[in-house]
Amino acid sequence: MSDTRTPSQTDPAPYDALLLLSFGGPEGPEDVVPFLENVTRGRGIPRERLTEVGKHYFLFGGVSPINAQNRELLGALRKDFADHGLDLQVYWGNRNWAPYLVDALREIADDGHRRVLVLATSAYAGYSGCRQYRENLADALAQLAAEGRPELTVDKLRHFYNHPGFVGPMTDATLAALAELPAEVRDGARLAFSTHSIPTAMAETSGAPDDPARGTPGGAYVAQHLDVARLIAAAVAERTGVADRPWQLVYQSRSGAPHIPWLEPDICDHLAAERADGAEAVVMVPIGFVSDHMEVKYDLDTEAVAKAAELGLPVARAATVGADPRFAAAVRDLVLERAAVQRGEPVTRCALGALGPSHDRCATACCPNPRAPRPAAAEA
Ligand SMILES: CC1=C(CCC(=O)O)c2cc3nc(cc4[nH]c(cc5[nH]c(cc1n2)c(C)c5CCC(=O)O)c(CCC(=O)O)c4C)C(CCC(=O)O)=C3C
Ligand SMILES: [Fe+2]
């Protein structure tokens, strides 16, 4: 990505708005229960799990860090766009908490915009991180149509997990976490790349129908995470001179009924296994998340750190990309790439690793809804 761009390299046409679409989180104790009801409506999460997860939020005063982090990202995007002459207004809406998606789209429409590009705060393929957001968009668009508002056309940016603006900051964060460990265990530290566990059935159907990983254990969801993990492990090996540092992809934040299989191993079980295997230390690298929200603050920094202390295993946790300027620049790159694609111009697609750039538009059979098919926006 160069800073000297020709005019077409700052042209967002045909798009006239970017929507940051995220999960949302509670901003005070009174928000926690209604937030959890929004998240879990119709999803068969056991009551006990909800009570348990509610406690995680109350431990932090009922405030999830996610909204503040999205406000920071918004600021970083607006600054990056302004600094590089990209004239595109940025809006923000959430699936589960205010500011809600439907209100953001209404504002976009009322401001006179018609063609919207969407950045979801989830880097990978999968129902929860991709299609569910497209279902939310379809619901919101239907609501606006029912209100008699003019029609919006919505597209979603391709998955950004293998963009250098995502992998680069995660690599530096891994190196910084290694540096936090006591010097004598640093070279013996192993890497645990962590992401959200999902049901194995959901993992296996993740990705496009023609994705080679589709139907293999873990599907595109796992294949994409493994690609990122490999990239970071290789870069860390090069930068530290430790060539054969062991690493593994592990999971966290499992919910759902116990008899339904979800991706394993869990991070806490993994820490115990690493201790038993003689690991000197572990660096937890939350590649599955784009900011240090509750899944990171509780499941890793609280629960997994307590487990490690109990095991006598030194651990450190790498930061997520958050509002890193390189990530904001990556979003600009993806916006301009997609705008050029829509205008029928040739593009260079930036992607690291073995899998190549993801598709621009998801197929109808991408990452199917595990319950029943529902309308989804931004589809081929
Ligand atoms: C893949 C994935 C991501 C990563 C991609 C992405 O970022 O989208 C993600 C992110 C997040 N998940 C979050 C919170 C929750 N997820 C839940 C439940 C679930 N997540 C799932 C998957 C994912 N989730 C699944 C398959 C379920 C089961 C129910 C269902 O099928 O929907 C529940 C219910 C209670 C419980 O944990 O059981 C909560 C409270 C927060 C907000 C954190 C904060 O507040 O700071 C964030 C960013
Ligand atoms: Fe979740």
pLDDT in tens, 155-164: 999 999 999 9
Contact 231, 167 (CB under 8 A): yes
Query: What does the block give as tokens for 166?
Result: 């995502």
CA distance 243 to 245: 6
Residues 120 and 195 in one domain: no
| pLDDT tens digits for range 347-363 | 999 999 999 999 999 99
Q: Sorting pLDDT into bands at 50, 70 and 90, what band is 17?
A: very high
Instruction: Please indicate, yes or no, if residue 86 is contained in any of the structural domains.
Output: yes
Could you tell me if the CB of 129 is within 6 A of ligand 1? yes
Rounded to 10 degrees, what is the CA torsion of 333, 336, 340, 343? 160
Specify whether 154 is located in the same domain as 212. Answer: no
Q: How far is the CA of 241 from the centre of ligand 1 (A)?
A: 36
Cis preceding linkage at 99, omega within 30: yes
CATH number assigned to the domain comprising residue 232 = 3.40.50.1400
What is the SS3 assignment for 69? helix
Please give the average per-residue pLDDT across 209-236, as a whole number. 96
User: Both 95 and 217 in a single domain?
Assistant: no
Residues 147 and 42 in one domain: yes
Q: What is the mean pLDDT of residues 311-332?
A: 98
Instruction: State if pTM tops 0.90.
Output: yes
Say whether both 123 and 219 belong to one domain. Answer: no
Q: Has residue 344 got a pLDDT over 80?
A: yes
Average confidence score pLDDT of the chain: 96
pLDDT at 203 over 80: yes
**181 pLDDT exceeds 90?**
yes
Per-residue pLDDT averaged across 18-37, rounded?
97
Answer whether residue 4 shows pLDDT above 80. no
Are 129 and 190 in the same domain?
no
Separation between Cα atoms, residue 205 and residue 211, nearest integer Å: 10
Cβ–ligand 1 contact at 225 (below 6 Å):
no
Q: Does the C-beta of 25 come closer than 6 Å to ligand 1? A: yes
Altogether, the residues listed in the chain come to a count of 380
pLDDT of residue 3: 43
The predicted pLDDT at position 2 comes to 42
- Average of per-residue pLDDT across 313-324: 98
Q: In this model, does residue 1 exceed pLDDT 70?
A: no
Find the mean pLDDT for residues 74-92.
98
Mean pLDDT, rounded, for 50-57: 94
Residue 343 reports pLDDT greater than 70: yes
Name which of 11, 13, 19, 22 is nearest 109 in CA terms. 19
Q: Measuring CA to CA, how many Å separate 167 from each of 4, 83, 111, 217, 306?
A: 23, 23, 35, 24, 28
> Is there a domain that residue 376 lies in?
no
For ligand 1, mutation pick of 20, 22, 23 (most atoms within 8 Å of CB): 23
Considering the domain boundaries, does residue 184 fall inside one?
A: yes
Residue 7 reports pLDDT greater than 60: no
Q: What average pLDDT does range 231-237 have in this prediction?
A: 98
Q: Which atom of ligand 1 is nearest to the CA of 66?
A: 46
pLDDT of residue 42: 81
d(CA 193, CA 284): 6
Question: Do 374 and 135 contact (CB within 8 A), yes or no?
Answer: yes
Residue labelled with tokens 């620049």: 329
Q: Do 83 and 134 fall into the same domain?
A: yes
Domain assignment present for 236: yes
Looking at the structure, do residues 109 and 227 belong to the same domain, yes or no?
no
Cβ of 64 closer than 6 Å to ligand 1, yes or no, is: yes
In a domain, 353, yes or no: no
pLDDT category at 255 given cuts 50, 70, 90 is confident
Q: What is the pLDDT of residues 293-309, one digit of tens each?
A: 999 999 999 999 999 99
Mean pLDDT on 247-255: 96
- Which amino acid is located at 307 in the chain? K
pLDDT at 330 over 70: yes
Between 49 and 200, name the one with better pLDDT. 200
In a domain, 141, yes or no: yes
What is the domain extent for residue 91?
7-160+323-342
Domain identity same for 156 and 171: no
In a domain, 368, yes or no: no
The answer to whether residue 46 scores a pLDDT higher than 90 is no
User: CA 169, CA 54: separation in Å to the nearest integer?
Assistant: 31
Whole-angstrom distance, CA of residue 307 vs CA of residue 9: 49
Q: How many CB atoms lie within 10 A of CB 148?
A: 6
The whole-number pLDDT of residue 138 equals 98
* Predicted local confidence at residue 220, as pLDDT: 98
The per-residue pLDDT for 63 is: 98
Do 156 and 168 lie in one domain? The reply is: no
Same domain (yes/no): 130, 65 = yes
Q: What is the structure's pLDDT at 9? A: 80
Binding site membership of 23 for ligand 1 (Cβ less than 6 Å): yes
Q: Of 317, 332, 361, which residue sits at a domain end?
A: 317
Q: What is the mean pLDDT of residues 312-332?
A: 98
Instruction: Please tell me the distance between residue 271's alpha carbon and the centre of ligand 2 in angstroms.
Output: 22
280 and 177 inside one domain? yes
- 125 domain residue, yes or no: yes
One-letter amino acid at 364 equals T
Q: Minimum mean pLDDT among 87-96, 186-195, 249-258, 324-333: which range?
A: 249-258
Instruction: Check residue 331 and give left, alpha or beta (phi > 0: left; psi -120 to 50: alpha).
Output: alpha
- Known binding-site residues for Fe(2+) equal 196, 295
Q: Specify the pLDDT at position 48.
A: 85
The tally of domains found in the chain comes to: 2
- Asked whether 161 lines ligand 1 (CB < 6 A), one says no
DSSP 212-223: TTTTSTTHHHHH
Q: What is the mean pLDDT of residues 84-95?
A: 98
